[in-house]
Structure 1
Amino acid sequence: MQSLYPLIDAAAGWGLVLVCVALLALRYLQVRYWRTALVMRAAPGPLTCLTVGGAALAAFAVLARAVASEPVPAWLSALDAWGLTRNPGGPDAALAAVAAFTHLGDSLTVTGVAGIVGAVLLWRRQWAGLCWWALASLGNGLLVRWCKQVFGRYRPDAPYLEVHGFSFPSGHAMSSMVVYGLLVIVLWGWARDPALPAHSRAGRALRAAAFGVAGLTLAIGLSRVWLQVHYASDVLAGWMLGIAWLAVLCLLARPARGG
């Protein structure tokens, strides 16, 4: 996978433009054929999407400006220094377990999860959902690669793992927030399926799975700081940019009018 990164990085900007055009085209189709538009039962409303997405984007902008500043603001230095002083230490087995756990946010793992969800949507013949999911996942990957090239921030010295590429924002944090976050919304929507009996075992299992995946998303980001392969600000920026992208996707997933 890493052998493809130079090619992906070179095409990330234009690829992201094409993904955005495709998302706008999908939105147009939802306006044109609103009775068959993609509806996500668990997606937040437009006002919530705009408020949360706007706040997350503003927070990312603050972090990005601070990272690009020279000299670096004192508060950013303090934040990143705090993260780097959280020395893992402890038994080798615990360190190995966290190092294995953090791979749940790797591009290969996240792509595999996206592929499985896409296969389920294909099997359920949810064509609009499949297109939306594919564009969401592809856009996430291109956006994080493009941002890394723009900011070009070097990683901290990582004593526990061999890592490559730039540091800001954290790809693990953003990709897990987007892909696993979308999975949470999909699972919660399936749990609210009218076809399921109220308080059914399947519904409870789906809701429990959604909570578990949400916790997994946060834990992956924290593991990157704990292993000292990212600054704390990298992970925060990845989460914020991921939330902003999620908000856009939730807006596009709702029908233009009607139900």
Structure 2
Amino acid sequence: YVEFCKTTFPADLDLRGIRLVLDCAHGANYKVAPMIFGELGATLDLLGAEPNGININDQVGSTHPEALRAAVLRTGADMGIAFDGDGDRLLLVDDRGELLDGDEILWLLARNMCQNGGLSGVVGTVMSNLALEQALAGCGVPMLRTPVGDRYVLEAMRRHGYPLGGESSGHIITPANTTGDGILAALRILAILRRSGVALAALREGYSAFPQVLKSVRMAGAQTLLDQSSAHQLIADAEDRLGGSGRLLVRPSGTEPVLRIMVEAASADMAADVAAALTSGLTKLALAGAVPRPRN
């Protein structure tokens, strides 16, 4: 596996002179990631590389990037890479300590493909930030949205013949790597970085994610609520407030009795206001008897 990963990195490039902080989440990549990036020449600082059988993802990895951001700033690293416990996704931290989620990683890969031969399309999910869709549209690249889940992303890629897909959480999928692999995705970004000759903070300039607010309302029968005309009106009113400069998603959780509300807007204040008003309205509707209350 180590040798395979190294062969995906351009033969005329290496990582000498690059300093990386790797957060391996005390998980699957704790041993192979340092080997791969180290053998390519990078100077490494490690976090989350001491698994004991119970500490996987414990305040480390892609779900807890705070320590990685601090380590990048402390060490003066060129980039930080945070994997999750099983190694199939990643988040990045640039040389200024700023976080790049899966949407922005997908954008960097897509833009590079556009500049080097073209790109037929990209598959994201219903949770992918509106900024990604708009950035791709600016390059003439269509984006499809699927339900959350890498299986749905892959199905859509195959159905439409698109060579790139991913999720905000950091799953990056290509036809050659259909299950997602954080190390391979990181190597692709590093190759772009080396070719460009600029720092990651400079490479990502021009992309600005829409502020996003997520809310959860605990209730049984969330779909029943969403079928009510009064709920339709609340959602329509929220969309009118966004005025075409944002996006919202209201859906039942697939795993628990919870209604999920996501709002993106051009400003953080607008996103927060619309999310709060919609959450309040739907909660009042549920309490008024439109749906049963969940059992504890």
Q: Is the TM-score greater than 0.5?
A: no
TM-score w.r.t. structure 2 length? 0.21
Q: From the CA coordinates, give the structure whose radius of gyration is larger.
A: 2
TM-score (norm 1): 0.24
Tell me which of the two structures has the higher relative contact order, counting C-alpha pairs closer than 8 angstroms and 6 or more residues apart: 1
Relative to its length, the structure with more strand (as a share) is 2
More helix per residue? 1
